[in-house]
A and B are shown apart, each in its own frame.
Chain A
Amino acid sequence: MPEITPFLKSLLSVAGISSYETPVTQLIEKKWRPLVDETRLSRIGSLEALKRGSGPEPRPSIMVATHMDAIGMMVTSIADGFLHFTQVGGIDPRILPGTPVIVHASASGEELPGIVVMPPARALPASVGDGVLGLEHLLIDVGLLPEEVAAKVRTGDLVSFATEPKELAGEVISGHTLDNRASVAVLTVALEELQNKSHAWDVWAVATVQEEVSLGGAFTSAFGLRPQIAVAIDVTFAKGPGANDWQTVPLGKGPTLTMGPNIHPYLFKKFEELAKNLEIPYQTEVTPRHTGTDGYATQVAAEGIPTMVIGIPLRYMHTPVELVALKDIQRAGRLLAEFIASLEPDFVEKIVWED
């Protein structure tokens, strides 16, 4: 089984905030290039990699979407050397005080280390006091003199988490942006597995942009590539402290196969059959309305695309210490590769509604 951890760790060590994915795009492109036939960028920056199938032309294609963008922050104004900021993607401001960050200073081109700080109660409006501080009251301190900050940092500069990835006991890894670099790793595992398998269908491996703000990459790549089926891989909620509701599944017990209005039931059935046959552990996840993943976008692109959604259980979503089980990544990658290899040239005709 190929070792994916070093690559995953490298993905967790760069920023790649929504709309500014280039640093991570480059890493992924370098890793995928030997595994596929061609790579290119979509008009808004998604990495689209084609691995050609062996079936007769015109060949159907499957698109696998894993978003590569990260949540983060952005400077809104500068006051006396302190940075006011807003979020890119959804961040609970309660997890931020004391968080180490990197300020990507555009005027000087430097990466400045910084800390999210909480002004003392007396510096805040009485209504805030020692209660919860919203984003509007938090600041970033980069430890430089006000005039240095003014010379280096500008409104609109990006701020990313600086927390370094860490392997913990029991083959789990923690870090920022495992949402959704863990799924990029899954797709990479699948591409590696496919090196030794024949597959009739073309495979479009797509590292999408802007999922955290608009699902923009998935909407546009699905429209542009117009695959016959689409699979979105994204992280899902693992059980853990404060998360034990019906939306959660155990960590390390396999990826989830998702069912619900977003998913074509026939694809769910095929994935489930395959996982059972191959004895790959999996869990089922139910989504009554929508999955909130790239699968939401691929399903309604153009004339509609039959879509499947696979989840990688993850704890502490949208914090700098997200946590996943490496086994789940390997399992999902293998399942995906086996599914792709199992697609017969006429699979499209088999996708029906079994009413």
Chain B
Amino acid sequence: MKQLLQKLTETFSPSGYEAAIREVIRAEVEPLADEIRVDALGNLIVRKGPSTGSEQAKKIMVAAHMDEIGLIASHIDENGFIRFTTIGGVYPQMLMGARVRFYNGIPGILYTEPLDAPTDTPSIEKMFIDVGAKSRADCPIKIGEVAAFERPFLDLGDRLVAKSMDDRIGCLVAIEALRALKSTPNEVYFVFTTQEEVGTRGAETSAFGLDPDLGFSLDVTGWGDTPGRKHFDIALGKGPAIKIKDGGMLSDPRIIQWMVKTAEANGIPYQREVLLGGTTDARAMQLVRAGVPVGCISIPCRYVHSPSEMVDYNDVQNAVKLTVALLENSVEL
């Protein structure tokens, strides 16, 4: 599982350019799937279970987004330096001195024009990427090419660290749940979605196409257990979190109940999540067509949207268990 996570997190696929990660995931899930396809926005849709269910069988969508935050080149100056803008929530304080890798494999480093005071936070407008080019003509990057953080996976035992843990950890949970899900009476669609970081766009279109009866997302949430963080009840190692609310969505109370009961019946630890900012694919799923009852299983993750996002391995394993337990039996909301 850790090896697969390493492979997933060391793949570069910013929003809108998910082909690389999609191929890594496809290779894993193809032997496990009853049906697999890619839609117009690049979502990878994987069915497990009967395609035309009986009356009791529910069509369930499980979404994990495979894109990651990144950068996109907006100008190559006459000396070969690359100006850029951000894809998704990239903060400048995370970028100073960082290394990135472009989609075509070219590495680059980030720095800034001189600041008024060395302690100031640089603005994205003042920053540039240096790929070692000496002139515009010499620069291997063109306007519109995308890059993501370059940072190797780190195994600290229980704690695992990587870039793009958001949301490759959700992808891992989905893949492992699919592997462990021997059979299901439900028509389950694992959707590895695109463009979540720019506004849950892949989930919106794939949910429209699938028209599920219910669904949930698998995504990371914030944390409250490092110095100075207060009044947020989520800690690493205390189990996956069942989302009640986030910045964009209120989970369906019936889905919360279903998750809580399933976790308790199977002795799986869980936390209750009320997140103030941010949202997940579930928001888009909820409002599609005539509406979908949705929820979210969150994997607590420290330092979200930094190049070193940290999760707890036990939480990951429990998230897999909970996902499987939810899907292996008929669902009655």
Contact = CB atoms under 8 A, between A and B. Distances in A.
Direct interface between A and B, CB < 8 A: yes
Contact of A136 (B231, B272, B283, B289): B231
Contacts of A20: 250, 253
Given A18-B250, A19-B252, A220 B245 contact: no
Contacts of A19: 250-253
B24 interface: no
Interface string B235-254: 00000000011001111110
Given A19-B252, A20-B253, A156-B244, A224 B289 contact: yes
Contacts, number: 80
Contacts of A52: none
B287 A219 contact: yes
Interface of A: 18-20, 42-46, 74-77, 79, 84, 86, 88, 136, 154-156, 210, 213-214, 216-217, 219-221, 223-224
Contacts of B213: 43
Contact of A156 (B249, B274, B289): B274
A223 B290 CA distance: 6
Q: Interface SS of chain B: helix, strand, loop or mixed?
A: loop
Given A19-B250, A213-B250, A77 B232 contact: yes
Nearest to B254: A45
Interface of B: 213, 224, 231-233, 244-245, 248-253, 256, 272-274, 276, 283, 286-287, 289-293
B289 A220 contact: yes
Contacts of A136: 231
A283 to B, nearest CB: 32
Nearest to A210: B250
Contacts of B232: 76-77
B274 A216 contact: no
A244 B171 CA distance: 53
B291 A216 contact: yes
A213 B279 CA distance: 13
Contacts of B272: 154-156
B276 A86 contact: yes
B253 A76 contact: no
B289 A44 contact: no
B283 to A, nearest CB: 8
A75 to B, nearest CB: 7
Contacts of B233: 76-77, 155
